[in-house]
Amino acid sequence: MDSAGLSDQPYVSAVRSRIQIVEDEQIVAVDIESSLNSMGYDVTCISKTGKDAVLCAAKDHPSLVLMDIKLKGKMDGIEAAAIIRRESRIPVVYLTANTDMAILERAKRTEPFGFLVKPFNNHELMSTIETAIYRHRMEVRLQESEQRFRSLVENAADAFYVCDAAGRVVDANEAACQALGYRPEELLSLRASDFNPEISAERISLLLDQAMAQDGPITLKGRHLRKDGESFPVEVRITSFVSEGKPLLLALARDVSEHERLVSELREAVRKVNSLKSIVPLCVLRKNLSNAEDIQQGIRTHHDTVMSKGVCTECLNAFKEDVGKAKGTYLRPGSESQSSSQAQPSPRALPK
């Protein structure tokens, strides 16, 4: 057993990670380096002071730093670890022979990835290193995933906002701020009921329970209220998730003002078409139109003409000619000698 308490039993790391050692006792540092090499790790450097540890970490960017808490010089291991975590985001495992609770509490505030209390053996060393590296990789992946999600949310055209179980807005994207007319800090001080009066705290709680119980999102329709008092129609899709042990509602709100305008225009167009039913039939019958495309073309051809007696002027005049021809065909025998003026129908007798 050496001075650090390391056994000679070999362990081999599955992935060749790079480790930085920060230890001011040369013999202990060399023993740790030898053990790490036997387990398949690469040692990037051995630092004796906190200042040197910070510089080496920034230059070499190792997979993990083994940091002795008590170091010579003005900067101890805790202060050096805090700088490395803040500037280089490298995981740190503390080495210490001191179990003083005050020191440990101070060390915990730097978010270490583990503690090794001297003396320790190779199994303890390797298991601590592997656990810390794995945890760090998972945290990096989670942070990258959160950043991608945040980027998608922030660049989305639709409004996203997150509410807690009491209806308080705990997060929102830029589109939500613009849609509602609030600055980000203002929106985060509101409750959902401030811009959606139909959503009370009780309903938020019910929606949260419902969203957690079902697989797909909940879709609601309503109106949102802007800061200036103007309201607008929205369609809201709601789902739930858990953050730090607390259930939250994620709402995607889409302004459907344009959609409702188009629906209104379509309904008005249908109403106008229906109002032409008293006008179209005579024209359609006269032209012997049967299919929908021909009828629509007939409507387009005649809709701007001057209307008279339920038929356009062009078809009315043709209709008069048809009536005159029909009357001439059905004259009584012996009446062929009537003058043309007598055979023609009186204008007063024809529909105008």
pLDDT, residue 333, reads 47
- 312: number of Cβ within 10 Å: 22
Answer for the pair 30, 6: CB distance below 8 angstroms, yes or no. Answer: no
pLDDT, residue 199, reads 85
Q: Using CA atoms, how far apart are residues 85 and 129, in angstroms rounded to an integer?
A: 16
Q: Using CA atoms, how far apart are residues 223 and 230, in angstroms rounded to an integer?
A: 10
pLDDT, residue 205, reads 85
pLDDT, residue 311, reads 55
Question: In 3D, which of 113, 108, 116 has the Cα closest to residue 136?
Answer: 113
102-110 contacts: CB < 8 A, separation 24 or more?
103/69, 103/78, 106/78, 107/69, 107/78, 107/81, 109/82, 110/78, 110/81, 110/82, 110/85
The sign of the torsion formed by the CA atoms of 275, 276, 282, 286 equals negative
Domains and CATH numbers, the chain: 18-149 (3.40.50.2300), 156-255 (3.30.450.20), 260-349 (no CATH)
pLDDT, residue 198, reads 85
Q: Using CA atoms, how far apart are residues 77 and 84, in angstroms rounded to an integer?
A: 10
Per DSSP, 2 falls in state -
Can you give the pLDDT of all 352 residues of the chain as single tens digits?
344 544 445 455 545 799 999 998 999 999 999 999 999 999 999 999 999 999 999 999 999 999 999 998 889 999 999 999 999 899 999 998 877 788 888 999 999 999 998 889 999 999 999 999 999 999 888 887 777 777 777 777 889 999 998 899 999 999 999 999 999 999 999 999 999 988 888 888 888 888 888 888 899 999 999 999 999 999 999 998 888 788 899 999 999 999 889 888 888 888 877 666 555 555 555 555 555 566 566 555 555 444 444 455 666 666 566 556 555 544 444 444 444 444 444 444 444 4
pLDDT, residue 309, reads 43
